[in-house]
Amino acid sequence: MKFENVLITTDREVAIITINRPTKLNALNKATIEELHHAFKDLEKDKNVKVIILTGSGEKAFVAGADISEFAHFSEKEGGKLASKGQKKLFDFVENLSTPVIAAVNGFALGGGLELAMACHFRVASHNARMGLPEVSLGVIPGYGGTQRLPQLIGRGRAMEMILTGGMIDAAKALGFGLVNYVVEQEHLMDLCMKFAGKISNNSPVAISYAIKAINAGFNNSINGYKVEIEAFGSCFGTSDFKEGTTAFREKRKANFPGA
Ligand code: COA
């Protein structure tokens, strides 16, 4: 698939996806959501890619939300479909990707933009980042998982405050809330994300994918997370990565995981 709104670059075992609609502050229109779905799907299949970093183009925005001009005239039915399709194609898809995804929040992350950052496995922000779920100011509610993931990440009371006021918080407050893990100067944002990506890349890709699955299971009411953990733990013992990891430890050398 040829991408128009998404750029992909690779740096050793790390792929960087840049949402590239800077004149619209990288707002998520339908085409961009579709392209992101395919970009993540392709990169997950690529065994050379150990980590994905997601960011926005330019210095102003990560993503300023879903593209308001596209849904302003939607009916109830179309609105529901927009949310369900988007959640399935992008937000749940990213959250459950077996390859870890770091959000490099380089500016405004509003509405669908913050929801996308929250669907990533963790977040690092630049000092100029501003985050919020302003949907109620438009007469809607967050529809890409925001009412679920924000309370999971920062607690119900803080999420209620953010969603009901529709206000933005700055990077320092987001750090205090635990919404982002680190805040750095914008010029150091990608370097810091690459540092984490490098550390992750040293580890077993199979174990990492099981860890993501088990952690996510704990936030799914219909699944017993402990049970998923036990099964995933057991499965690790049948992998070449486990053999290599334990052998390398005993041989006092760095593991070279086959990723299987
Ligand atoms: N959907 C569609 N277009 C958007 C957008 C969105 N969510 N966010 C920004 N844009 C567009 C603007 O319409 C403008 O386009 P134009 O130049 O063709 O008019 C361009 O991006 C630049 O935005 P602008 O508003 O001029 O920048 P600003 O610096 O004055 O304000 C924001 C920045 C982020 C505060 C402001 O753009 C904003 O409030 N955006 C909407 C945020 C939102 O409500 N998101 C949730 C959607 S559910």
Whether the Cβ atoms of residue 163 and residue 223 lie closer than 8 Å to each other: no
Q: Report, as an integer, the average pLDDT of 20-35.
A: 97
- pLDDT over 70, % of the chain: 100
Task: Specify whether 44 is catalytic.
Answer: no
- Tell whether ligand 1 has an atom less than 6 A from the beta carbon of residue 110: yes
Q: Report, as an integer, the average pLDDT of 151-168.
A: 98
Assigned token pair, 187 = 């010029």
pLDDT single digits (tens) 94-113: 999 999 999 999 999 999 99
Give the separation between CA 22 and CA 19, rounded to whole angstroms: 8
H/E element holding 56? Answer: strand 51-56
- The pLDDT of residue 1 is 84
For the cut 90, the answer to whether the pLDDT of residue 17 exceeds it is: yes
Ligand 1 nearest atom to the CA of residue 61, by list position:
34
pTM to 2 decimal places: 0.98
* Short-list 27, 35, 184, CA closest to 106: 184
* Short-list 24, 105, 38, CA closest to 67: 24
Q: Whose CA is nearest to atom 39 of ligand 1?
A: 64
Say yes or no: domain 6-201 is CATH 3.40.50.10860: no
Q: Which of 70, 135, 185, 187 is catalytic?
A: 135
For the cut 90, the answer to whether the pLDDT of residue 155 exceeds it is: yes
Long-range CB pairs of 214-221, under 8 A, 24+ apart, other chains included: 216/95, 216/96, 219/152
For the cut 90, the answer to whether the pLDDT of residue 10 exceeds it is: yes
pLDDT single digits (tens) 200-245: 999 999 999 999 999 999 999 999 999 999 999 999 999 999 999 9
For the cut 90, the answer to whether the pLDDT of residue 171 exceeds it is: yes
